[in-house]
Chains A and B, each alone.
Chain A
């Protein structure tokens, strides 16, 4: 009998432990090929303490957060018009004082989750913004409506100009809590714009806000590329009378000219470890792909063909480089080992395939393909299979760049004049315009996630 009881005990214990594992909730399984969109409600942020009503802090916060979560593609955002009045009343009564004093937080007894569950929400965001004595405080909380519990809550304190940054930071928290993956809402996009009258390099948030002019060369600036740590950009400029290569530190504003050989010093791209650049030089009589250290030393020539070889881009694992060559008679995309060996052609459709961009996931390249007289963004696997045309119905889509999570692309298009910079997901849907300046915006490049 004792022996049987012992066995029973062991088995029960084992079963209980197993059952315990089933308690951990998987909110959004992003690895699943067709996950359903996760229903989330964002209750409009309130701004009970605001030095100025016209700041519209609550509405702006709600808009930025809603936009971020919509772009991610993971969510079904519950229409705010369906929110019953009493759901909004279930909002914390205490307001942040902004002095570091922690107010009484809402207990689950104060928040009535049932109205939210009734509109179909499985998660809920509540929050407040306060602006007093030139200090901005944002408090935001993400709740599990089904389990009726807090998932993550944050409070941010800063200046009025930090509002979007705070919201993006919280949006990243939401993504991480629900998917386990890092969000992209604090990333940036660098691009070329003729808004000042000539081509200069501009920087903006990934969602198009906070546009800033970076260069003032009063010449021609081209092809900016973020370093893997996001701190620097490499680009070409005619400032000194020739297309030379520069590196600029975005934090300090310091610029260095790192390559000024006779002829072309163009189309820079960074190695994944950030130690080297690949670029095209024509100093030896022909545009060829070279690599070099950031200070211009250790120059290594990779291509040895009389054709034009330009636009190199490294694979995320650093082992291969894709580039454009017309060695086959027309511009096509090729892939070679990072030391220049074993050149293989990647694209065979159409007569003009340029601007390869390798996804950070390593599984696809995006590029610009001229088909039937129109430029399209296409993606393809590194082995040349599964070619997809993403922008077949849009005007002149060019120069694609991937988001750090490989789920989105930015590109330029003339569909509404410009051209302007647009955002879409990796399947070519949910296209959103990002730039609204005068002139033309081209050659966007998406930053990595910035490390603190």
Chain B
């Protein structure tokens, strides 16, 4: 009795009707949702989270020193955690190196002529760690002095300007220190008397304000060490 075309018409109407309902009218909403109040009464315990900003006394109480299990680990116990406000102190500038004191030289030996190692700092070109002729001259003077003071030791500090990341500059500073080290060893200084450390861009001689200053910061410093 039902014609096929009638059936399709009914289906079509059903689809269209559903489409209208779905897209058009506002959903009838029973108000009951708001009768239930805010979903959670959540007790916020200030110290329960990973948020690392608790009050200073609590942090201090928890600092335990675990046993050092492997040779390479060390437990470093923190001293009292200070307040967040910075201390009222002048910013410490990189202090100019002082000349090594005579007391450093061993008393049993003949004291050599005092050498102003500060004045013998050597410079480098940008992103470079090769030694210039002037640098080699300075190193020769240092080697000569060290040969007359067999107990003297020297530390070589490698420095850079501030262009580039701290990390790359730490590596570059190390390269610069090692360049000087190799040259001194080549001049006969025993490796045991030379130590090196890189400070990268962290201890500029002068503020990195312009290229003239930056070139001054690309250097090795020599310090008499014990």
Contacts and interface: CB of A to CB of B under 8 A. Distances in A.
B171 interface: yes
Contacts of A212: 52-53, 84
Contacts of B166: 222-223, 442-443
Interface string B11-49: 100110011011100110101011111111111111001
A252 B70 contact: no
A308 B178 CA distance: 13
A223 B166 CA distance: 8
A452 B84 CA distance: 25
Interface in A98-113: 100, 102-109
12 contacts: A8-B14, A12-B11, A107-B35, A154-B38, A154-B40, A155-B40, A169-B44, A199-B202, A213-B84, A216-B82, A243-B170, A266-B167
B200 to A, nearest CB: 8
A197 B72 contact: no
Contact of B79 (A159, A166, A188, A216): A216
Given A213-B84, A246-B76, A450-B49, 14 more contacts: A4-B2, A105-B35, A106-B34, A107-B35, A156-B42, A157-B43, A251-B50, A252-B59, A255-B76, A267-B167, A295-B69, A296-B72, A310-B171, A354-B164
Contact of B86 (A1, A16, A210, A437): A437
Nearest to A245: B72
Given A212-B53, A254-B63, A280-B167, A260 B38 contact: no
User: 8 shortest A-B CB distances, which residue pairs?
Assistant: A158-B44, A105-B37, A153-B38, A250-B52, A296-B72, A19-B18, A107-B34, A287-B171
B163 interface: yes
Interface residues of B, number: 78
A399 B91 contact: no
A297 interface: yes
Contacts of A273: none
A253 B59 contact: yes
Nearest to A193: B86
A328 to B, nearest CB: 13
Nearest to B48: A452
Given A102-B41, A223-B166, A264-B170, A295 B78 contact: no
A256 interface: yes
Given A4-B7, A310-B168, A452-B49, A104 B31 contact: no
Nearest to B71: A296
Given A22-B22, A194-B91, A157 B42 contact: yes
B140 interface: no
